[in-house]
Amino acid sequence: MILSDFDLMSYIKSGRLRIEPFTDEIIRENGVDLRLGSEVARLQRTEDVLDTGDRDVNLRKFFKVERGEEFVIMPYEKVLLTTLEYIKLPPDVMAFVELRSSFARLGLTLPPTIIDAGFEGNITLEVEGSAFPVKVYKGQRFAHVIFAKTLNPVESPYRGRYQGQRGVTLPKLLGLK
C-alpha cells in the first residue's frame, strides 16, 4: 500500500516516520520531495583498479568530495549527491526513490534506489549528467520518495553499513580478502 499525503502527515506527526529538517512543502500527493544537501562526491577518471575485495582501499583516489551551495554536473559525469533531509523509517515502511521529473527532463538520470524498512540517515543518490552541464543548488527539491507500507513489519529491519549515514557517503566495501 502506497502512503498518501494524509498517511505521511499522520506518520510524521506521530513520530513513526522522521524527516529532519521537515517543512510541509515537501509533502506531495503520494510521497515526499527530498532536497539536495551541501555535498557531492565526483567519480574520478583513473586507470587504477578499485579492488572491491580490499576493505582498506583508498577511495579518495576514485572520488573527490566537495562541499558547497551549488554544483555543476558535467555532461555524462557520475556523481553521488546527498539529501538535506535525515530520515528514519519504521519497520513496516520501505520507500522507492525517483528523480523529480523536472530534473529527468533535463537529461539527468538516477538509477533505481530503495530505502529499506528500518533505515535511518541521509540518502546518498547516484546521478548521471545530461548531454549538457546542469547546475543544481542546495535546498532544491530533487528526489521524490514514495513510501510503501509492508503487510507486516519486517523481522530484520535494516542495520547495514549505511545505517545512520550523514552527508554524502562513499561505498563501504566488504573486503573479501
pLDDT at 94: 98
Domains of the chain: 5-45+57-149 (2.70.40.10)
Name the active-site residue from 77, 98, 120, 126.
126
pLDDT at 176: 54
pLDDT at 173: 77
CB 114 within 8 A of CB 95: yes
Gap between the Cα atoms of 70 and 36, Å rounded: 9
The pairing of beta strand 120-128 with beta strand 93-99:
unpaired
pTM over 0.85: yes
pLDDT at 175: 59
Angle, alpha carbons 51-163-160 (nearest 5°): 55
pLDDT at 172: 87
In the residue annotation, 128 being an active-site residue is answered as: no
pLDDT at 56: 84
Angle, alpha carbons 38-14-154 (nearest 5°): 80
**pLDDT, block means (10 residues), the chain with 177 residues:** 97 97 96 98 94 87 96 98 98 98 98 97 98 98 97 94 95 69
Gap between the Cα atoms of 139 and 161, Å rounded: 26
Please name which of 3, 57, 54 lies closest in space to residue 30, comparing C-alpha atoms: 3
pLDDT at 149: 97
With cell 532536497, the residue in question is 35
The pairing of beta strand 78-88 with beta strand 93-99:
unpaired
